[in-house]
Amino acid sequence: MPSPSAHALNVLDAQPSDAAAVLEVVRRSFGARPPLDPPSTAADESVEKIAEAIATSGGLLVERRGEPIGAMLFDETRPGLLGFRRVSVDPDHQDRGVASAMVGVAEDTAEERGVDGIWLQVREELPGNVEFWSRRRYHVVESSGHMLEFGKTLWLAREMHTASSTYRFGERLASLLRAGDLLVMSGALGAGKTTLTQGIAQGLGVRGPITSPTFVIARDHPSLVDGPPLVHVDAYRLDDVAELDDLDLDTAFEDSVTVVEWGAGVAEQLSDAWLEVRLERRQADVMDPVGAEVPGSGDDTRVITVKPHGARWARTPLRSTLLADVTSPSS
């Protein structure tokens, strides 16, 4: 019986010396596709062109038992984005999860390079490819002739050690918001949801005060700067989606920024695009001089996670905006 490692896929950072292997995979992959009009430019690739592309921007090579079966080239020509080119899988190995493994590593690479998101182009005449990327939460952001451009914004997580940092994070987030945007917040009591919303309100320039709307359920805050108003909703006391519908939020939704605390599992139905914002409170204990823990003595750290959903966010610089320093008042 073969060992598990005999079936393992190795996803490797491609080197210029791998150009011949990458080209072999590209030719096998694109050669198995149906005839297209106009034809793919993959036939124009050469070892020299691929070696230069790898040297410039990098790429991936997937091997199984030492045999190249998958490949991808990266493209760094767009600031803040990483492009995927020549995403290729040997047709004899398309049932082994090669493409999914390769995309997972490629997304990790994009995160490590500090970019905001990813772009790639897909032929509209290849519905299987369109479905593959759509299932992985890539969204069509542009269409030109026979080509669809897909985009995906990377999610992020950021530690906040003070309430003022959480507030300033909200101000930064507000700079990315526009009328019609929906933020679905979740987090335990005291995690900082209202503090974050106060920062968003300050950034939007709406009339306050911003307090927890638990007993009112929803509050409207008009703009003081000719921008979108803020609708602040607390879904904690709502039992189901029907009760949220009773608030008739959609009548003003397109003209407002809507923040729904305790909204996970309830508020997403308000829009086909939203920001999932999760706050977690982590009480970090410290050690006394003899090495014993002192309960409750650590800093009161919050971790804010922001995950984009829908085409609205596919070209939004979330990471470059929200991972910048927010620890000083001048930030």
Burial of 253 by CB count in 10 Å (0-12 exposed, 13-18 middle, 19+ buried)? middle
Structure tokens at 226: 């000719």
Structure tokens at 98: 């090669």
Is residue 69 pLDDT above 90, yes or no?
yes
Summarize pLDDT for 132-145 with one digit per residue, the tens: 999 999 999 999 98
β-sheet bridge partners, residue 18: none
Is residue 2 pLDDT above 70, yes or no?
no
User: Which sign, positive or negative, has the C-alpha torsion 249, 255, 261, 262?
Assistant: positive
Q: Report strand pairing: 139-144 vs 286-287.
A: unpaired
Summarize pLDDT for 15-37 with one digit per residue, the tens: 999 999 999 999 999 988 888 88
Q: Give pTM, 2 decimals.
A: 0.84
H or E element in which residue 169 lies = helix 163-174
Among 117, 67, 59, which Cα is nearest to 87's?
Answer: 59
**Ordered structural domains, the chain, with CATH:** 4-153 (3.40.630.30), 156-322 (3.40.50.300)
Concatenating the DSSP letter of every residue in 172-203 gives HHHTT--TT-EEEEEE-TTSSHHHHHHHHHHH
pLDDT at 205: 97
pLDDT at 296: 44
The span from the CA of 275 to the CA of 148, in Å, is 24
**In 3-state terms, what secondary structure has residue 237?**
coil
Cβ pair 139, 148 in contact under 8 A = no
Per-residue pLDDT band at 211 (split at 50, 70, 90): confident
Return the C-alpha torsion angle 260, 265, 266, 271, nearest 10. 80
Per-residue pLDDT band at 121 (split at 50, 70, 90): very high
- The CA-based angle 306-312-318, given to 5 degrees, is 35
Summarize pLDDT for 258-276 with one digit per residue, the tens: 999 887 887 788 889 999 9
Mean pLDDT over 231-235 rounds to: 85
R_g over Cα of the chain: 24
Mean pLDDT over 59-71 rounds to: 96
Cβ pair 98, 29 in contact under 8 A = no
Q: How many other C-beta atoms are found inside a 10 Å radius of the C-beta of residue 260?
A: 28
Is residue 330 pLDDT above 70, yes or no?
no
Is residue 124 pLDDT above 70, yes or no?
yes
Burial of 291 by CB count in 10 Å (0-12 exposed, 13-18 middle, 19+ buried)? exposed
Percent of the chain at pLDDT exceeding 90: 67
Is residue 290 pLDDT above 50, yes or no?
no
**In 3-state terms, what secondary structure has residue 96?**
coil
Tell me what the pLDDT averaged over the chain comes to. Answer: 87
Among 261, 258, 244, 243, which Cα is nearest to 189's?
Answer: 261
> Which of 16-30, 170-184, 216-230 shows the lowest mean pLDDT across its residues?
216-230
Per-residue pLDDT band at 41 (split at 50, 70, 90): confident
